[in-house]
Structure 1
Amino acid sequence: MKKLLSVFFAITLLLGMVFSPTMGFASNDGKNEYLVQFDGKIEKGLLKAFGVKDQEILHTFDLLPVVTLKLTEKQANALVNNPKIKYVEENAQVQALVQTIPWGINKVQSQEVFNLGYSGNGMKVAILDTGIDRYHEDLFTNVKGGFSVFTDSANRDPYYDGSGHGTHVAGTVAAVDNDLGVLGVARHADLYAVKVLNNSGSGSYEGIAKGIEWSIQNGMDIINMSLGGSSSSAILEQWCNLAYNEGVLVVAAAGNSGRRNGRGDTVGYPAKYASVIAVAATDQSDNRGSFSSTGPAVELSAPGVGILSTTPNNNYASYNGTSMASPHVAGVAALIWEAKPNLTNVQLRQLLQQTAKNLGDSNQYGYGLVQPLAAIQQ
C-alpha cells in the first residue's frame, strides 16, 4: 500500500533517544521536500504532468527509482494516488542529541584474535555518521576515504567532525596500534567517513540513503550506523535491504530508549529492519545497559557503557550508548571476515549469532556477546 508519511526520524548519538516533533525541509514557497519512489522506472514526464519543474527535481538516485522533489501538499497527495508511484514520503529531518559520558576491546577478544594474526586488514568499514577527523593521531593511518552528502562549505568535508560522534565511533572500530590513546577492535581495518549528519547533528532520510548508496557503489564490506529513530521508512528499509543483498554487512545501534525493567519493544530504525544487525549495549559485568533498547529485533550485544575512544583534535572521551556498542560488532565482523574471507555476509551474520556468548533474555541481549575467537576457530 502506498503511504504518504510525515515522519520524524530522530538520529540518536551517544546516550538517549530523545524525540521532539520536527518538520521536514520546508521552503518559503509553500513546498516541502519529498522522497518519491516509482513503481518501475523513473518517468520525468509524469512529474511534469503534475506540475513539477526541472529545478524542483533535487536529486535522482541510481540504484532505486527514487527522486527527491519539492512539492506542494496538493501535488504530494495527487502523486500518492497515481498507480505508477509506489511511495511518497516527506524528507523528514533527523536530529542528534549528545551526552558525553571506555574498556570493550578485551571484552570482545580483539587482542586474542590479533595474536592469531588477524586485525581487520583489508576490510572496508563505512561509518555513516557526523564525519571522521582523519588527522587524529589514532586514526589517520586507517582513514582511507570519505564522502559527504552535504554541499555547503561548513559540512561538505567528510573529515571535519563538528560533533565528535563519528570520530568516537571510528576509534572503536579501528584506532591504530601506535602507543597513543586507545586501540580499536580491528586495528588495521580501512575506515571511510560517510558524513550523513551535519556539524550540528542534523540530516535527512535522503542523506542516509545517499550514504548507503555511496557505500554500495564504493565496495564497502561493512556499514556501521550508530544512529536510530522511532519511525520507519519503507524507502530507507529498501536501501538497507539493497546493501545487504549486494553483500554488505549492515550493523546499527538498537537504540537507547530501553526501560529500566528491560521490557517492551523499543528497538529503533534502521536497526529493526531484518537486513540490519541490531546491537544492544552491555557493561563490564555483561549486564544490559539500563538505557539499551529491547525487543525481538535485538540480535547481538557488545560493550556500550563508559567506552573510551577518539574525539576530534587528538582528544579522547568516554561515552555511553548503543552507538558505542554497534562499532564493536562492526570491528568484530571485520576480524572474522579477514580470517574467513570466503564467507558471504549472510554466513558471517549466522556465525556471529552461533558463537555469541549467551547472556540471558534474548529480547535484551539477542544471541549474546560477540565472540570472534570462537567464530574464527569454528
Structure 2
Amino acid sequence: MFLPAQAGFATGTPTESGDYLVKFNGAAEKGLVQAFGVEEEDILHEYELLSVKHLNLTDQQAQGLERHPHVDMVEENAEVQALGQTVPWGVPHVQGTAAQEQGHTGDNVKVAILDTGVDNTHEDLANNVKGGHSVFDDAANSDPYYDANGHGTHVAGTVGAVNNDLGVIGVAYEADLYAVKVLNNDGSGTLAGIAEGIEWSIENDMDIINMSLGGSQGSSILEEFSDLAFDEGLLVVAAAGNSGNRGGNNDTVGYPAKYDSVIAVAAVDENNNRATFSSTGPAVEIAAPGVNVLSTLPGDDYASYNGTSMASPHVAGVAAQVWQAKPELSNAELRALLNETAKGLGPSHQYGHGLVQSLDAIEN
C-alpha cells in the first residue's frame, strides 16, 4: 500500500516554490488561481472527480490560498513510498495467522536460534532479538549478531519477524529471539559447539531451542545435552535433515533431530506433499512448511529458501504461540499437544503426526 509522508509547509522565502494539492469549495477555481498569480504552466493537473488542482506554488501563494474562504485545503505534494508486509505462505498454513488474530503472538516466550548467528540490526528482527552468544572466539565468528552466512537470520525471521508493515511476519512475531552462534560463517560447526549452545540455552532460561542443523554422525555427549535440556523443561526442535529421496522409505533423519528428546521436523510444500529432500524415518515427529519459504536475510534483505531448516522454525514459532496461550503446560505436555492436534498427512515415517496446527492446539 502507499502511505504519504507527513504533510506540512516548508519554511523559506516567498520566492521558493513547490508542488501542492489545492482543494476548492466554490465555482471560482480558475479565477482564484489567476488572482494569486499562478501561471498556466504551473497548473500541473486538474482532477475531474474532486475540485482539486495540482499546482506549483510559491510559499506565499500557498499560504494565501490556505487562508482563502473558498479553499478547503492546501497540502504539499509529499513523496510516498511503497510499503507493505508479506505474510509467507507457511504462517497461515500452520494456523499461525489465525492464532495471531486471537492474540497469540509468542509474547515473552524465549526462543534460542542455534545457527549461524542472527542480524540484530535487521528491520524485521531488531525489536525481537534480545541477546545472544557465540561458541567461537575468532574475530570473524565471535559476534553472534554477525551472520555472514544468512541461514540463522532466515530461520529467526520465520520464528519471529516483527509485525511492522515491512518485509515479512514471523509465526510468533512477539517472541524473544536469542542468537546462539554454533555454526560459523561458512555454515559449519561441531558437535561440541552445538552442545555448548544447548548448555548456554539451559543456563540462560530459554523456553525453546531451534536447531536448523544436523549431521549424519551422532554423539552420546550431544544426546545427553539434548536430554538435559528437555529434562530442564525446554522444548527442543530440530530439522529432520535434507537427505530424503523420492521414494521416501529410508531412515535418513540426522542428528540431533534423531534423539528422543528432540522434535524432528519434516518439510512439506504448499500442497502438503513431502518435499523430496525431506529426510524420512521413524524419528520424524511432525511436519511444517519447508519449500519456497520467504524470510529475512542480513542487511534488511529477504529471500526464499528450501529445506527442513525452514520447516523447524515454523514448529518453534507455533510452540511459542501455544505456550503463551497455555503457560501452565510442561514441555512434555506441549509436545504431546502439538502431536495430537497435527493434521494427518500420510505415513508417519514421512510426515510424523502430520502438519503442525497452532490454533487447533490452543483451542484443544
Q: Does 1:185 align with 2:167?
A: no
Distance between the aligned counterparts of 1:291 and 1:202, measured in 2? 20
Paired residue for 1:250? Answer: 236
Paired residue for 2:287? Answer: 301
1:256-275 aligned within 5 A: 256-275=242-261
The CA RMSD over aligned residues, in Å, is 0.7
Q: Which moved more, 1:200-209 or 1:118-127?
A: 200-209
User: TM-score with structure 2 length normalisation?
Assistant: 0.76
Paired residue for 1:61? Answer: none
Shift of 1:131: 0.1
Amino acid aligned to 1:365? Y
Shift of 1:114: 1.0
Distance between the aligned counterparts of 1:221 and 1:199, measured in 2? 26
Distance between the aligned counterparts of 2:291 and 2:324, measured in 1? 27
Amino acid aligned to 1:272? K
Paired residue for 1:119? Answer: 105
Number of aligned pairs?
A: 277
1:26-37 aligned within 5 A: none
Distance between the aligned counterparts of 1:316 and 1:367, measured in 2? 31
Paired residue for 2:262? Answer: 276
Distance between the aligned counterparts of 2:272 and 2:139, measured in 1? 44
Distance between the aligned counterparts of 2:133 and 2:177, measured in 1? 12
1:196-207 aligned within 5 A: 196-207=182-193
Paired residue for 2:49? Answer: none
Paired residue for 1:356? Answer: 342
Distance between the aligned counterparts of 2:188 and 2:216, measured in 1? 16
**1:15-57 deviation per Cα after TM superposition (whole angstroms, max 9, x unaligned):** xxxxxxxxxxxxxxxxxxxxxxxxxxxxxxxxxxxxxxxxxxx
1:287-298 aligned within 5 A: 287-298=273-284
**1:302-344 deviation per Cα after TM superposition (whole angstroms, max 9, x unaligned):** 0000000000000001000000000000000000000000000
Paired residue for 2:209? Answer: 223
Q: Does 1:241 align with 2:241?
A: no
Paired residue for 2:358? Answer: 372
* Residue among 314, 317, 328 paired with 2:303: 317
Paired residue for 1:38? Answer: none
Distance between the aligned counterparts of 1:209 and 1:262, measured in 2? 30
**1:73-101 deviation per Cα after TM superposition (whole angstroms, max 9, x unaligned):** xxxxxxxxxxxxxxxxxxxxxxxxxxxxx
Counterpart of 2:119 in 1: which secondary structure? coil
Which runs of no fewer than 5 residues in structure 2 stay unpaired?
A: 1-87
User: TM-score with structure 1 length normalisation?
Assistant: 0.73
Distance between the aligned counterparts of 1:241 and 1:210, measured in 2? 14
Shift of 1:377: 0.6
Distance between the aligned counterparts of 2:132 and 2:119, measured in 1? 11
Amino acid aligned to 1:138? D
Distance between the aligned counterparts of 2:298 and 2:233, measured in 1? 32
Paired residue for 2:312? Answer: 326
Counterpart of 1:203 in 2: which secondary structure? coil
Distance between the aligned counterparts of 2:100 and 2:313, measured in 1? 17
**Which of the pair has more CA radius of gyration?**
2
Distance between the aligned counterparts of 1:198 and 1:265, measured in 2? 28
Counterpart of 2:130 in 1: which secondary structure? strand
Shift of 1:263: 0.9
Distance between the aligned counterparts of 1:296 and 1:175, measured in 2? 32
Paired residue for 1:137? Answer: 123
Distance between the aligned counterparts of 2:157 and 2:149, measured in 1? 14
Counterpart of 2:114 in 1: which secondary structure? strand
Amino acid aligned to 1:244? F
Identity of aligned residues (%): 69
Shift of 1:202: 2.5
Paired residue for 2:114? Answer: 128
Which runs of no fewer than 5 residues in structure 1 stay unpaired?
A: 1-101
Shift of 1:262: 1.1
Q: Does 1:159 align with 2:145?
A: yes
Counterpart of 2:167 in 1: which secondary structure? coil
Shift of 1:264: 1.0
Distance between the aligned counterparts of 2:170 and 2:187, measured in 1? 24
